[in-house]
Amino acid sequence: MTLICNLDHYTLNKIPQHRIEFIELKLKQFIKKNDIKKWPLDCVVLLKELRDSKRMPLILGSVPVTSSIFDAQARYYPDLNVYMFLINKSKVTYPFKSSKDRRLNFTLAHEIGHVVLGHLDIPDHLKTKKDRDIEEQEANEFAGRLLAPEQKLLSCNFTSIESVAAHFNISKQALWKRLNHLQKLDLIKSKPLVVCNTCGNSEVSVFADCCKICGSTIGKRMGVEIVKYRSHKLNPLGKASICPICKNEETHSEGEYCKICGTFLYNVCAPTEKVSDTNFYYTQKSCGAYLEGNARYCENCGNESTFYRDKLLSYWIDEKNIQDFVESQEESYSQVAATLEHSYDNYNFIKERWISFLDFLDNLKSQYVALFNHFELTNIEYDEKENCLSMGFMLKWQMFKNSGMPDSFHNAKYEMEHLFSRYANLEDIDFKYLGAKHKEFDDDAIPF
C-alpha cells in the first residue's frame, strides 16, 4: 500500500512511540466512558454534557479578549480540583458556518486532550520547552483521532476537502494534517463516487433518477459518508434465493410465491400512493422494473418496492442506526482482541524480567547473608546493621530498576502469584521490614 505524506509537516514522529500508544489508550477509554457512538462531534455540546453529567469536573466560560491569540483554553485549579474551559468570544463563531469557524471544534478537542492526557496536572514552570512542545503535539494528535477516527475517515467519499472537513466538523487545515499523519494525502485527489447525499448509498446506477435506498432524487451534490445496506440474495432471474420470511431454500420453481409461507419472492416496482403539489392523493402505477435485493424504491420512478411494501426491508434510517451500533461493537471487540494480544506479548517479556528479578534476589540474599556474617565478626550494633542492609538493598534495587524494567512490570505481581513461592522463604532478611524503616526507600516500588 502506498503511503503518501508531506514530511515537512509530518510531526507524529516527534511523539515517542510509547506516548502514541498512551494517547490511543486514553482516547478509547474516553470514548467508552462517555458513550460516544456517533460522528461528527460538536465539542461545545460534548463539554456541556461532560459538565452536566459531572463526568468531568469542569467550568465553562467565555471572555471577549480581542487581543488574545487563543480561540479556547483549558486551565486546572488543583485546590478546587476543577478544569476551566475558556472560549474567546471575539474570535469564534458558533454554531459553525465555515471551515474557519470549525477551527474552534478542533481547539476544544485539543484542550480536552490536555485534560485527558494529564498535561494540566503538572504546572508549566516544572516542564522544559521540549516537554511543552511534545504535549502540544500529543493534544493535536488526540484531537485529530477523536474528531476524525481513522476507519471512518478512510472509508469516506472524498468529493472535496471542504465537504469531508464539514462532515467531520473540522477545518480544512485540520483534515489535511490528519490525512498527512495517516500518510493518506492521496485520498484528497481520489476520484469521487456517486453517493446519495441523504442515506450514503453508493450503489447508484448511471441511469438512476432516484436513490434505491431512501427514494431521494439523485442530484449533483454527492454524499461523503458511504453506507452499505444489507441485501436479500437474488438469483439471475431476480427471484429471492431464500425466502425472507420462512427461510425456505427451495425457491427454484417457476412460481412467484414461496410454497411454504406464500411470500412474494420478486422485488419489483410497486404501485405507490403519492401526494401532488396541490395535496391531492393519487396512486402512481408501477413501471414494472425489477429491482435489487436491498432496493426500497425504484430508481426509475421513485415508487416503493414490493420488498419494502411487504416489510421485508426495514426503514433505511433504522438499518443505518443498527449498522452504526454493530460497527461500534466490532470496534470494541477488535480493541479488546488487540489489547489481549499486546498483553500476551508483554506477559512473556515481563515473565523473563520477573525471573531475572528472582535471580537477582537470590544473589542479593547470598550477599546479605555474607554481610551479616561479616557484621557478626566485627560486632557492629544491630541497628546499624539494619541501616546498612536497607541502604544497600535500596541501592541494588535502584540499579535493577534503572536497567530498563517497564512500568507494567510493577503490575505483573497480580498475574504471577504462582511465582511468589520462589522468594517467599527468604527468612534470613526481612526485606519489607528493613525498607519500611527508611522514608527514602520506595517500598511501593517493590513488586511483592
Residue 85 has pLDDT above 60, yes or no: yes
Q: For the chain, which domains are there?
A: 7-189 (1.10.10.2910), 319-445 (no CATH)
Beta bridge partners of 87: 62, 72
What pLDDT is attached to residue 92?
81
C-alpha cell, 97:
458556518
CA dist., res. 70 & res. 86, Å (int): 10
Q: Give the separation between CA 413 and CA 420, rounded to whole angstroms.
A: 8
**Residues 211 and 40 sit within 8 Å (Cβ to Cβ):** no
What is this structure's pTM?
0.68
Would the pLDDT of 358 be above 90? no
Percent of the chain residues topping a pLDDT of 90: 56
Distances (CA, A) of 21 to 17, 24, 341, 347, 395: 6, 5, 14, 17, 32
Q: What is the number of helices (H) and of strands (E) in the chain?
A: 11, 5
Is the confidence at residue 201, as pLDDT, over 50? yes
Length of the chain counted residue by residue: 448
Task: Render pLDDT for 415-441 as a digit per residue (tens, 0 to 9).
Answer: 344 333 433 443 333 333 333 333 333
How close are the terminal C-alpha atoms of the chain, in Å?
Answer: 47
Give the C-alpha separation, 351 to 291, whole Å.
60
Q: Report the pLDDT value the prediction gives residue 361, as an integer from 0 to 100.
A: 62
Q: For the CA atoms of the chain, what is the radius of gyration?
A: 32
Residues 6+ apart with CB under 8 A from 305: 212, 267, 268, 269, 270, 291, 295, 296, 297, 298, 313
Whether residue 165 contacts residue 99, with contact meaning beta carbons closer than 8 Å, is answered with yes
- Cell numbers for 414, please give them: 497480580
What percent of the chain has pLDDT above 70? 71
More confident residue, 405 or 205: 205
Residue 414's pLDDT is 41
Q: Which of 109, 96, 93, 102 is nearest to 34 (CA)?
A: 109
pLDDT digits (tens, 9 = 90+) for 156-185: 999 999 999 999 999 999 999 999 999 999
Give the three cell numbers for residue 124: 508549566
266 has a pLDDT exceeding 70: yes
Average pLDDT rounded to a whole number, residues 266-280:
91
Burial class for 300, CB neighbours closer than 10 Å (0-12, 13-18, 19+): middle
CA torsion through residues 154, 156, 160, 164, sign: negative
353-358 long-range contacts, Cβ below 8 Å, gap at least 24? 353/405, 353/406, 353/409, 354/409, 354/412, 354/416, 354/419, 354/447, 355/419, 357/400, 357/447, 358/419, 358/422, 358/423
What is the DSSP annotation of 247-310? ------SS-SB-TTT--B-B-BB--EEEE-TTS-EEEEPP---B--TT-SB-TTT-PBBHHHHT
Report which of residues 12 and 394 the model is more confident about: 12
Determine the Cα–Cα distance for residues 115 and 368; give it in Å rounded to an integer: 47
What is the enclosing helix (H) or strand (E) of 134? Answer: helix 129-147
